[in-house]
Structure 1
């Protein structure tokens, strides 16, 4: 059995409970759905390092039918080197982040690269859509789909910001220490393969 099966069970219970709480009109059933939701929090608390209060706060804005969260990552190249940004913890990753509710994947990519690297880019090609739990560790307590998008550089340079402290271009065989929870070596290699073979297929889980 998958050692993270407990998280799958907890998230399935939470999803069922939140759907019931959103659609059900029966007061007695609503109380039962609340118990199921709280049970899912108990499971996560019991198997993770998060407190019940942290879990409750994290999921406090969730309502209705549950779907994975979305994250977008930009692959920007210069002379066969890929752009990475260094976050405040000193680790490096592809520029990107949560997809905002009012933005498309393309619009979000443009926004994130401008905010984190100071660059204007043109998204040109979808490289892959990945189920995060199949590729990155540690496991998150929520489901996440990550979009990798090939982008063309237009202009700009790094600007000081709250999220990143530096940016740079790196060869595949000379990468800095990566924040593997967001970007690992295989994912950067995948981006290089897409950049060097523009006719390659879009990958998805």
Structure 2
């Protein structure tokens, strides 16, 4: 699977190039177009169709164009198998079968406890295609270098980083689901990917 992007960073579209028989998963409504012969299937969960589709290339290969529901950037994050990434739960546009979501990854369970937080963990190999409401930026942290980022701007970060979640004001409102009232402290080495627009405000 290879990914080419266009119209970034304002109105990004990701063209996912698929080898024969290769498949990619994305939200059903993000499929803009595909080459002829690509098969779309919708997996069922609990007897009901999910909101996600699997696009599978025919014997000659093919492509799928995926467009986020709102304006912004698209960013292929290359996973090499050695290091996993924590990603904002609303940021994943598409993923191949070779990239898995780790629902019980221990460090995120330590951050959020039993609650479903605003981050998910992914590992494996291949291109995890991310979407952001603004241009994608990054902070390159050297060992022991620190940076604080609001959750609404966090896109993804690798397992090499240390991460601490804390309240801005312990007496104020807080939400593990959205990140309201919270910040993330990161310690290097590693790269923090951020988006240049607030995700909740952009959805307005």
Query: Per residue, is there more helix in 1 or in 2?
Result: 1
TM-score over 0.5 for the pair: no
TM-score between the two structures when normalised by the length of structure 2: 0.21
TM-score between the two structures when normalised by the length of structure 1: 0.21
Query: Per residue, is there more strand in 1 or in 2?
Result: 2
